[in-house]
Amino acid sequence: MLIDFHSHTLASDGTYRADELVAAMKLRGVEIFSVTDHDTLAAYEVLCPDGVPATSLAPTRPITGVEINTTYRGDEVHILGYGFVLGASALDTLIEKNRRSRDERARRMIGQLSRAGHDVTYEMVRAEAGADASLGRPHVAKALVRCGTAASIESAFRDFLSPGRPAYVPSHHVRPHEAIEAIARAGGVAVLAHPGRIKELEVIDELVEAGMVGLEVFYPTHTDAQIARFRELATRYGLVMTGGSDFHDPRWNVRGVGMDVDPEDLQPFLDLVL
């Protein structure tokens, strides 16, 4: 079954507009998908005007989604939310809190770049993201490339934006527990994103206690051994399993959108969100 419950648009750090991403999903034959932009639901203003999926989305079927960036125990822990009601105040409030944190982080990075003699302004970074987008390091990296300070996004991260480099600023987002609670209050399902990137998997026990419902078991960089381990953890904790491409840009995500996952593995999740 071709699905994709993890993808991004220009509203966060992707490079496709929402309609372009949907076109890519259709071309691949993806049956059900979610746009899970970081800390913003702006894509759903296009996909689901008035809270109802646009007829132009057929034959693909959208499930509301978001990726909430959180920090905990010195680690970045991303929580995916699915199937929530658009316009839910609890989720909107939490997203706005993270957006303010992102904006402040970007301003601090710009300040450090300025003090190091690089002419990058907030307006330049905002132009890379768009007026309503949620800011992140990729937007600062794109501004560095645009003004000629860095040769590529990769070199911008390597030379300026990574830990130990002159413009690195650690993120200070909400705790994952807050994200899980807000998603639940909005009627949604909270899932731990790409557990293969988590430093301490022991945190899963705590997040299950906080109300987390699922694990993103199927992910492009997860090895067969990791998939087997996460499948076992999902069984142990009674969690549903999800999967997604984490698509941002065809240059970085050479496999494109969509993942082929056994329907039996996805059915418990689909039962919760459809």
pLDDT attached to residue 34: 98
pTM, entire model? 0.92
- Which residues of the chain are modeled with pLDDT < 70? 131
Local structure of residue 130 (DSSP, 8 states): -
CATH number of the domain that residue 255 is part of: 3.20.20.140
Token pair listed for 170: 């650690």
Overall residue count recorded for the chain in this entry: 274
Q: Which of 80, 11, 6, 77 is nearest to 40 (CA)?
A: 11
Environment class of residue 202 by beta-carbon count within 10 Å: exposed (0-12), middle (13-18) or buried (19+)? exposed
Q: Is residue 169 one of the residues assigned to a domain?
A: no
Give Cα 86 to chain centroid, integer Å: 17
How far, in Å, CA of 212 to CA of 196, rounded?
A: 17
Residues 127 and 71 in one domain: no
Token pair listed for 204: 């899963």
Residues 266 and 184 in one domain: yes
For residue 108, give its domain range.
Answer: 100-161
What is the per-residue pLDDT across 94-150, written as a single tens digit (0 to 9) for each?
999 999 999 999 999 999 999 999 989 999 999 998 767 889 999 999 999 999 999
Q: Which of 215, 263, 217 is nearest to 239 (CA)?
A: 215
167, 70 in Cβ contact below 8 A?
A: no
Residues 20 and 109 in one domain: no
How far, in Å, CA of 155 to CA of 53, rounded?
A: 39
Residue type, 107: R
CATH number of the domain that residue 143 is part of: 1.10.150.650
Q: Which of 99, 5, 100 is nearest to 60 (CA)?
A: 5
**Half-sphere CA count of 222, side-chain side, radius 13 A:** 24
What is the per-residue pLDDT across 232-244, written as a single tens digit (0 to 9) for each?
999 999 999 999 9
Residues 234 and 141 in one domain: no
How far, in Å, CA of 62 to CA of 64, rounded?
A: 6
